[in-house]
Amino acid sequence: MIPANKAYLDRLVAYFEQPAFIASDPISLPHGFDDPRDQEVIGLFAALLAWGQRKTVLNKMIDLCERMGYEPYRFIYEFDPDRDGGRLKGFKHRTFQPGDAFWLSNNLGKLLRKHGTLEELFVRHLPSGHTDIAPAIQGFSDSIMQADAATPQRLQKHLARPDTGSACKRLNMYLRWMVRPGPVDLGIWNRVPKSRLMLPLDVHSGRQARKLKMLERANDDWKACEELTHKCRRICPEDPARYDFAFFGLGVYGDPNGE
């Protein structure tokens, strides 16, 4: 049975999923590049740093782009710790410290030189028979941590994994950006079915989902992400993550019709 609030959620998606959404959102950073390789690299940094005031996030990302010479793919692909590490000194955002920027850049560089793209790295962990992308998120994060034996454990706090119970909000958001087509999302990955995407769940979207009786679980964790995504798949099996725009929009802006 399709939930009764399908029409309501579809109306919210239609309202919020518009090009005007881009300018004040972290997705504006990958939109600022033309090369898909640049988009997927800077998009990962933007997603991982997307917490706190959005204006601050955007300013920090502009700073990072400058440090990368506005060539994020080339900077990461060719990253040399001795030559390029100094360019990341002083870069921080909340708990993301210069050392985190260094090790994420170093490890991603090793992985890009091996796999070519982040999409390739991701899909190698995507089993064909699985209904969602949990194994691929797990493998993606684990691969980054394991790319260099000297990687400090503190980097792990920025790479969420389902096996810890995390909702993996920022990585699910990153995948929405990469996989779904526009007008807001980039749709540059074609090997991950959008039907397997999970909802980017956080405290705000969780609160709205509970108000709409679409989420019973009290904690905003991976099990809640699975529950909400399952409900959204009943509404739209081919594209459940589209409803992120509805929950996010309600949480940040409220109902445009005041309902």
pLDDT for res 258: 73
**Can you say how many angstroms the Cα of residue 209 is from the centroid of all Cα atoms in its chain?**
19
At 219-239, the pLDDT tens digits run 999 999 999 999 999 999 999
Count of domains for the chain: 1
pLDDT for res 3: 55
Q: Which residues of the chain have pLDDT under 50?
A: 1
Please tell me the distance from the alpha carbon of residue 93 to that of residue 101, in angstroms, as a whole number: 10
pLDDT for res 128: 82
Q: What is the DSSP string of 153-182?
A: GGGGGGS--GGGT---HHHHHHHHHHHS-T
In a domain, 192, yes or no: yes
Q: Domain residues for 189?
A: 6-253
3, two tokens = 């939930």
pLDDT for res 225: 97
At 26-58, the pLDDT tens digits run 999 999 999 999 999 999 999 999 988 889 999
pTM: 0.95
Please tell me the distance from the alpha carbon of residue 68 to that of residue 179, in angstroms, as a whole number: 25
